[in-house]
Structure 1
Amino acid sequence: MYDLTGFQRDLLYVIAGLDDPHGLAIKDELEEYYESEIHHGRLYPNLDTLVEKGLAEKGELDRRTNFYSLTARGSREIEARREWESEYVDESVSATAN
């Protein structure tokens, strides 16, 4: 996961948090988080990168709509990232910052 951009990491987390989301559902979640518009020209090439890297899979809901899901490797990468983050950010620090 070290070779992903922050945006790609966020995409992976959104895919993990939703049940087989389609592209527009992912876009909506990220727009809410970033508080700005996510253009299709940014979204779909980055989703394709996650698929190419074997972190996500793309399936077809119908002829016009794809859905995305994590692969086993994608899940392992998220878990490894969370473990790495926990070495530097203690949960109690996060709780006191609020």
Structure 2
Amino acid sequence: MFIISLTYKVSLEDVERFIPEHNLFLDKYYSLGNFITSGRKEPRTGGAILANAASKQEIEEIIKEDPFYSHQIADYDIIEFIPSKYNEHFKIFIQNS
């Protein structure tokens, strides 16, 4: 599993222009089963995505499709972790990883 932390490097006005394209990107990877949850940081300095993938390299390839990446809207920090404890309702995501 991976935590993808996005940090904006442009104004929120510039971020807003790419939100529709970014949402299409998110929808694609939700439908493929890679993304589990996502949202913006508070305060609004970026966002975070919880993702499932076979490797960090796969996550890096996925990120390259994000309009926020291609238009240099955000920097990305990828944290890989192995879940060892989790809520029973979260089990379906752990079994698929």
TM-score (norm 2): 0.32
Would you tell me which structure has more helix in proportion to its own residues?
1
Name which one, 1 or 2, has greater alpha-carbon Rg.
Answer: 1
Q: Which has the higher contact order (CA 8 A, sep 6+)?
A: 2
Would you tell me which structure has more strand in proportion to its own residues?
2
